[in-house]
Amino acid sequence: MGDTNGQVVAGGNGQGNRLDQLDRPTDVLIDKETDSLIICDTERVVRWSRRSGTSQGEILIDNIDCWGLAMDDQRYLYISNTNENEVKRYQIGDKNGTLVAGGNGEGAGLNQLNYPTFIFVDRQQTVYVSDNNNHRVMKWNKGAKEGIVVAGDQGGGNALTQLSYPNGLFVDTLGTIYVADSSNHRVMRWPKGGKQGTVIVGGNGQGEGANQFYNPTGGFITTEKNETRYILLLNKNLFISTYLFYTHQDQQFVIHVQVNNIELYLMMRLIQRLLKYTSVKHIDYQLLIDSLDKLREIAKKKN
C-alpha cells in the first residue's frame, strides 16, 4: 500500500476503443471466479484478465452508456445505463439483460431514474441506485416495479436531508447507507429508514485538507473482521487520499490517511487528533493494526 508508482492492469495505450485501450472508464469490479477485471468503459463493458501477459480485453456488452457496475453472489452483473435511465441485470455472456430499476424514461417518479450512476446490490438482490440528477438514492427490491427513496429527494442542497449529485454507494448488513455526496464534498451515512443523514467525512467545502473532500465519486472497498467493518473510500484522484471507516461495538469514526505514508505511527497521530472531535473514548489498537494488514491485502489483490 505504500507504493507511489502504480502498475497498469488495463488499457494504458492511449484513449480509444481498440481492445487494448480504454476510453474514460467509470467503474470497475473484480470477478474472482475468472480472476479478471470487469470495467465500465465508454459505451461498452469489457473484461480484462488479471493474469500476467494480458495485452487486451474482451467486450462483454457494447452500445451501452454504462456508468456503474455491481455483481451479486450468483455472479449476475448489474449495470446502470445513464442514457436509458435504467439498471439491468445480466448473466455473463448475455447482451440483453433484465430490467431491475427505472426504464420508464427520464423523470423523478418512483418508477423512474434520472442519470443513474453508481449501484450497490445486496445478498437479496436488492438494488440501490445513486439517482444522480434527482439528488437521491433509490432502493429497488427484487422484482419491484418501482423504487423506494432511501436518501435525499429533497432537491439538491447541503442540508442533512439533502444530497447533491450523489455517486459512490455502500450499504452494510444493517441497511445503513454510505454515499459519496459529490457536489457537497462530503460522505454521508443514512440509517435504514432515516429521514436525514449524518456527515462522516468532509462537509467543510472543497479542498485537500484532512477534514475536506474534493468531489468524491466512489470506489468503496470493504472488508470485515468479526463485527468490525473497514471501508476504504477512494477519492476522485485514486490513491491520493483515502479514508478508513472504523466501526466497533456501535462506535464509529473516520481516520484520514495519506497513502504514501500509511504507517502505524501516522495513524496513531491521526487518532489522537480525531479523539478531540468524537465521543469515542477507547481505541482497540490491535484492530487498527489488523486493518492495516487488511488494507494491504486489498491493495495486493488490486495489483
Taking only the tens place, the pLDDT of each residue in 96-155 is: 999 999 999 999 999 999 999 999 999 999 999 999 999 999 999 999 999 999 999 999
Burial of 23 (0-12, 13-18, 19+ CB in 10 A): middle
pLDDT of residue 269: 47
Confidence of residue 1 (pLDDT cuts 50, 70, 90): very low
Does position 284 have pLDDT exceeding 60, yes or no? no
User: Angle of helix 264-274 relative to helix 285-302, nearest 10 degrees?
Assistant: 120
pTM: 0.75
Q: Please choose, from the candidates 240, 233, 235, 247, the residue with its C-alpha nearest in 3D space to the C-alpha of residue 278.
A: 247
Q: Pick the residue with more confidence: 58 or 232?
A: 58
Check residue 293 and give its pLDDT: 58
- Count other Cβ atoms within 10 Å, centred on residue 143: 7
Which pLDDT does position 127 carry in this prediction? 98
Q: For 180-196, what is the mean pLDDT? A: 89
Higher per-residue pLDDT: 231 or 202: 202
